Amino acid sequence: MLDWPLLSLLTWIPIAGAVVVAALGQRSPEMVRPLALIVALVTFGLSLLLYVGFDTSTAQMQFVEKAVWIEAFNIHYHLGIDGLSLPLILLNTLICVLVVIGGWRISDRPHQYMAAFLMLHALMTGMFAALDALLFYVFFEAILIPMFLIIGIWGGPNRIYATVKFFLFTFFGSVFMLIALLWLYLDSGSFAVADLHQHEFGLVPQIWVFLAFLIAFAVKVPMWPVHTWLPDAHVEAPTGGSVVLAAVMLKIGGYGLVRFALPITPDAAAHLDWLVIALSLIAIVYIGFVALAQSDMKKLIAYSSISHMGFATLGMFLAFAIARNTGEMTGAGLGMSGAMVQMVSHGFISGAMFLAVGVLYDRVHSREISAYGGVANTMPWFAMFAVLFFMANSGLPGTSGFVGEFMVILAAFHASFWFAFVAAMTLILGAAYSLWLVKRVFYGEVANDNVASLKDLDAREWIMLTVLAVFTLGLGLWPYPLIELMEPSIQNLVEHIMQSKLG
Amino acid sequence: MSIETVLLLIPLLPLVGSAVAGLLRHQVGRAGAHWITILAVAGSTALSAYVAWQVFFNGLPTMDYTVYTWAVTDGITFEVGFLVDSLTALMMTVVTFVSLMVHIYTIGYMHDDPGYQRFFSYINLFTFAMLMLVMANNFLQLFFGWEAVGLVSYLLIGFWFKKETAVKANLKAFLVNRVGDFGFLLGIGAILVYMGSLNYAEVFAAVPAVEGTTINLFGDAQWSLMTVICICLFIGAMGKSAQVPLHVWLPDSMEGPTPISALIHAATMVTAGIFMVARLSPIFETSDVALSFILVIGAVTALFMGLVGIVQNDIKRVVAYSTLSQLGYMTVALGASAYSVAIFHLMTHAFFKALLFLGAGSVIIALHHKQDMREMGGLAKYMPITAATAWVGSLALIGFPFFSGFFSKDLIIEAVHYADRPGAGFAYFAVMAGVVITALYTFRMLYLTFHGPTRMDEETRSHAHESPWVVTIPLILLAIPSLAIGYFTVEPLLFGGALSDAIFVREANDVVANNLAAKFDHGAMAFALHGFMTPVFWLAMLGVGISTYIYLFNPGLAGSLKEKLHLAWTVLDRKYGFDELWQKILAGAGLSIASGLSKGGDRTVIDGWLVNGSARMVGRMSGALRQLQSGFLFHYAFVMVVALVALVASFVLLR
């Protein structure tokens, strides 16, 4: 089985599934949900084969598939994975299963809902596996469409504003990326990511290309100050949309930085690393404060996501400062690993927190913190999960939320005491906004009749939250397997970006 | 069973117990939950005692090994591992024993509580976390245990989560501790960066090489690296061990059920900071500046928190302030480089303070959850066992000769006396004055609770009776070490070298070996007898005397003193304003910044001006441009003519 074209299967099975599910909706609606679940489970199962067959001793691309797509422009259908993309693909296929289970009760056009999600996940897998820059770009843009529909159709009252904002922000950024890719093609004659990694060119064009990539991916991460689309999108998105958005879609930005911006334009990155570090530190502290002021649970978690993704971008760009300030490379890989672990961990934790809000929203139809109080009285098991995930969000050791932050803070110290100092403020801020929410929503006397009539988790919700809890704790207690998977690629990346391409 | 298996079982038994009692709470039921968790802790206690016996009597060499590899990246290996030496063995025994007592006691105390299984699950989980902390052989695991005990403390302070005060207190406890952890994490970061490892043994070995290093943090000023590291680490200890000004969470933590006040907020968790500094003595010994800092912080805590204890009326809060003060004593000992004395006091304090808390809890049960001492009095005749054990605990606390607290506290005072680093003079004054104050608040509490006229209402008085055996047995079992453990362990622990494999002191700093050992030339008996003739003893008697006069013979005096010393009383009653500092000023400022950034930064500037502003601008520009598209042919013709003329004109003119 390992010699199958697994990456193509992972991409195309859910796309085919999406088409079938959408078509089935008219004729036999009762088949829609089971079929969607089967497709998601098969995809997840196949992705596990990637894990089984993955060689953790090399930074080489694995499971490579390559075929000519548009010969005139040297564009290929070229897929492959390394230690940077595999964890994100696994995260993606896992979240897909959970989202399908989570959308079980959707009554408004369930076939289209399921089809949109299957399509979304398929495109994201393709994007993470794409080794041709134009293929990447096609997937990158195509992802917008299902998400646009998910928020626009199944979203809240202000969904039109949110979808347009979401679309325009991302589109605005990706235009720059397209220009950069076209320029790179004209300069190098290739769209192959591997060729672009080796392509040498001068500092000034590097800076332009780097900035173009940065704008495209910073919007996706999102980094301060291009982040304001995210809270709006989250607030209006249905629960499943929020889960995918937080758990997987935000990782596209971080992935783009390590796959494109850093290795293609390392000299520009070394010149402008202060910019990314500053924006990351602002995200961690400024957004941490903003999260504290939110009265809407989804907004609070959205801001918390931005703050946590600040650790991912910080960790990625520490290498240059470390080299400059200490003259050696110790700590650079640590920061990069921490950034990647943070992305995966954030996938579990933010996904779980949005699911938790969904659990409450399904029952009470409010996201306002003030609409709740004393939920632990009526939903004790749910409260247990919630405390776990919000504790994980505040970086409690033993949960995955700790691992990435810890590694990035330690790496930041290699670069500068003050980087670590500012980043470590998340210890206080993260705990403050997470636990204050827990206090106001879960503790206290039963606040009103809505809370009094709450029913504890049903089997479906148990499954989703348990799966995420297992991963959150597992990764926190033993991150070794994940890090082992990524290590050769990370070391390779760090070595690569430290070599000047100016020639 | 190999010793490795034994060591692994010690923390894992309570972890499994916790999972079973918590997750299968309906299946195992109330009795099932307490049996499972108590057996788990009893197993840990027995195995810990076995390990301690191996270490202290059979000469088991220090064990330092990896249990599993947590992560490997960038050439750094993060591990989970155990370091078992005399210090660990001592801590394991104390923690598991007190935990076992508290588990048994809980059967009585939480008898009617609907959260019975949850409570047992939490205290079992706590035991696991605390054991992981003390058994760690590296900073990663130390930090894990450190935060995990903080988590359980949070869960237990807010155990009665319907009470607004309880859930305020647990949030406060967690956040104030996070302020400490902020420093702690930076300290750990500095250690990894400059010493290249998080393993204790490797770090200790690397200390001499980096000792002279200086770093600059602000401008050009050079700071000693070791001082920065030590102070950062100690800030962590200030949070966990509740030293001024990070002490504010501990009195509020009394909102939790009394058994955990005894276990977590008196005997074990709050001493984690003391343990940490002692464990890291090879690091702290390198910085005299940091040790002076520790000495002064400890002295301030010991004196000023004790003073607050005098004006408290809630019986648990008196004991809580007493705990703060005693933690200050331990910190002073650390600052005087008398780490072994600090650990010794940690041990005796664990027994007698757990005893006092559980005694207070016994009173609280008898009075149906009344905690105000003004509504007690004369309880000794209703609950003789509780009263007798409370006397033992109180005498140990004030340092009455032969009681366990006598040896540890007297030696702290002596150690400070001989320490010669900046701040030692002030610290000596503080710990001496603290003796009077300790005796004063301790006997005030004893008299108000157990003696004098009863102030209970008739209803309460008629129900007052001695607590059941599950409560009194732990009291008695704790009273025994409170009475005797000091006498039997002081010489081997401090002067017999039992802790010397774990604690490192520079020869010049070593007050224990250089100055205190001579006092034991004639044995512990002679030392204790001599204790009756020291100024320390008479200071304690002065405090006892004042209390006795005021609360037994002249009850009106307390009120009139309060009137006369109104200003002082107000300052103490308001706890020097630290709560206001934290809540109103710091937390308030944080919230103002938060709403300012949210409204001003995100909503007004970024979204209002930049995002929606550019959308509006595009709208306005297109609106303006639309005016040009009027559809009238003569408009277009007119524009064309004008443009043509302008073009030609510019061509002609500019040429």
**What are B317-361's pLDDT values in tens digits?**
999 999 999 999 999 999 999 999 999 999 999 999 999 999 999
Say yes or no: B618 contacts chain A, CB-CB below 8 A. no
For B:583-602, CB contacts with A below 8 A are: 590-591, 593-595, 597-599, 601-602
Enter the ipTM: 0.93
Q: Which of B11, B422, B523, B387 is nearest to A398 (CA)?
A: B11
Q: How do beta strands B214-216 and A75-81 pair?
A: unpaired
Q: Is A377 on the interface with B (CB under 8 A)?
A: yes
Sign for the CA dihedral angle at A379, A384, A388, A391 comes to: positive
Which pLDDT band, with edges at 50, 70 and 90, does B375 fall under? confident
State whether B73 and A435 contact (CB < 8 Å): no
Contact A228 B186 (CB under 8 A): no
Q: Is A429 helix (H, G, I), strand (E, B) or coil?
A: helix
| Nearest C-alpha in B relative to A406 | B185
Across the interface, whether the CB atoms of A483 and B71 are under 8 A apart is answered yes
Which pLDDT score is estimated for B378? 83
Token look-up 């001024």 returns B244
User: Which residues 265-294 of A have a C-beta within 8 angstroms of B?
Assistant: 286, 289-294
The three-state secondary structure class of B79 is strand
Radius of gyration of chain A (CA): 22
Report which DSSP code applies to B60: P
Q: Does A483 touch chain B (CB under 8 A)?
A: yes
Q: Do A413 and B192 touch (CB under 8 A)?
A: yes
> Which is more confidently placed, B557 or A442?
A442
Q: What are phi and psi of B105, to 5 degrees?
A: -60, -35
pLDDT in tens, B18-61: 999 999 988 998 999 999 999 999 999 999 999 999 999 988 88
Determine the residue of chain B that is closest to A424 in CA distance: B182
CB-CB neighbors (< 8 A) of A294 in chain B? 598
By Cβ distance, the residue of A228, A376, A397 closest to B161 is A376
Q: Tokens 């598939």 correspond to what residue?
A: A65
Restricting to B residues 62-81, those with a Cβ less than 8 Å away from any Cβ of A are 68-76
Buried-exposed string A427-457: b where 16+ CB fall within 10 A, e elsewhere: bbbbbbbbbbbbbbbbbbebbeebbeebeeb
Burial class of residue B466, CB neighbours in 10 A (0-12, 13-18, 19+): middle
Report whether B318 contacts B309 (CB < 8 A). yes
Q: How far is B459 from chain A (nearest CA, A)?
A: 29
The C-alpha atoms of residue A314 and residue A193 are separated, in whole angstroms, by 24
Any chain A CB within 8 A of the CB of B490?
no
Each residue's pLDDT tens digit, A169-200: 888 888 999 999 999 999 988 899 999 999 98
CA B280 to chain centre: 17
Token pair of A448 as six digits:
């009103």
- Per the CB < 8 A criterion, the answer to whether B107 and B33 are in contact is no
CA A336 to each of CA A85, A255, A275, A484, B27: distance values in angstroms, whole numbers, following the listed order: 14, 12, 17, 13, 46
> Residue A222, preceding bond cis, omega within 30 degrees?
yes
Q: What percent of chain B has pLDDT over 70?
A: 100
Distances, alpha carbon A445 to alpha carbons A203, A390, B487, in Å: 62, 20, 50
Nearest by CB to B597, from A165, A228, A286: name it: A286
Residues B583-616: pLDDT tens digits?
Answer: 777 888 888 888 888 888 888 888 778 878 787 8
- pLDDT surpasses 80 at B219: no
Question: From the list A330, A377, A432, which residue is nearest B175 (CB)?
Answer: A432
All residues of chain B having their beta carbon less than 8 Å from the beta carbon of residue A173 are none
Residue A266 DSSP symbol:
H
pLDDT at B455: 83
Q: Tell whether B162 is within 8 A of chain A (Cβ).
A: yes
DSSP reduced 3-state for A168: helix
Considering chain B, what is the average pLDDT of its residues?
89
CA–CA gap between residue A299 and residue A293 (Å, rounded)? 10
B330 contacts: CB under 8 Å, gap ≥ 6 = B241, B271, B274, B298, B342, B345, B346, B349, B412
Q: Which of 226-245 (A) contact B at CB < 8 A?
A: 228
CA distance A153 to chain B (A): 23
B158 touching A (Cβ < 8 Å)? yes
Q: Which residues of A touch B196 (CB under 8 A)?
A: 330
Is residue B643 very low, low, confident or very high in pLDDT (cuts 50, 70, 90)? confident
pLDDT at B542 over 70: yes
Subunit contact A396:B151, Cβ cutoff 8 A: yes
**Which residues of chain A are within 8 Å of residue B178 when distances are taken between CB atoms?**
427-428, 431-432
| From B246-260, B465-479, B509-523, the region with the lowest mean pLDDT | B509-523
Closest residue, chain A, to B71 (C-alpha): A480
For residue B603, give the chain A residue with the closest CA: A228
Cβ–Cβ contact B623 with A under 8 A: no
**Residue B16 host element (H or E):** helix B3-23
Residues in a beta bridge with B77: B72
SS3 B347: helix
**pLDDT < 50: residue spans in chain A:** none
Q: How far apart are CA B329 and CA B319, in angstroms?
A: 15
Residues of B whose CB is below 8 A from A428: 175, 178-179, 182
Distance CA B258, CA A25 (A): 60
Return the residue in A158, A172, A228, A437 with the most chain B beta carbons within 10 A, the one to mutate for interface testing.
A228
Report whether B361 contacts B259 (CB < 8 A): yes
> pLDDT tens digit string along B444-494?
999 999 988 888 888 888 888 888 898 999 999 999 999 999 899 888 888
Helix (H) or strand (E) holding B215: strand B214-216
CB A47 within 8 A of CB A90: yes
Minimal-distance CA residue of chain B relative to A413: B189
Closest CA to A328 of B217, B194, B206: B194
Alpha-carbon dihedral sign for residues B289, B292, B298, B301: negative
Looking at the DSSP assignment, which residues form a beta bridge with residue B63? B84
Partner-chain contact A417 B215, CB within 8 Å: yes
The residue whose two tokens read 């697994």 is: A6
Is B182 within 8 Å of chain A by CB?
Answer: yes
Residue A400 has a pLDDT of 93
Q: In whole angstroms, give the CA distance from residue B154 to residue B152.
A: 5
User: Which residues in chain B have Cβ-Cβ distances shorter than 8 Å to A377?
Assistant: 162
Whether B610 contacts chain A with CB within 8 A: yes
pLDDT of residue B188: 94
| Radius of gyration for the alpha carbons in chain B, expressed in angstroms and rounded | 31
Instruction: Identify whether the C-beta of residue B493 lies closer than 8 Å to the C-beta of residue B344.
Output: yes
> Which of B154, B155, B601 lies closest to A286 in CB terms?
B601
> Does B215 reach chain A within 8 Å, measured CB to CB?
yes
A contacts of B185 (beta carbons < 8 Å): 406, 409, 424, 427
Question: For B586-632, where are the alpha helices, taking DSSP H only?
Answer: 588-596, 612-628
What is the count of residue pairs from A and B with beta carbons less than 8 Å apart?
144
CA distance B102 to B94: 12
Measured between alpha carbons, how far is A127 from A146 in angstroms, rounded to an integer? 14
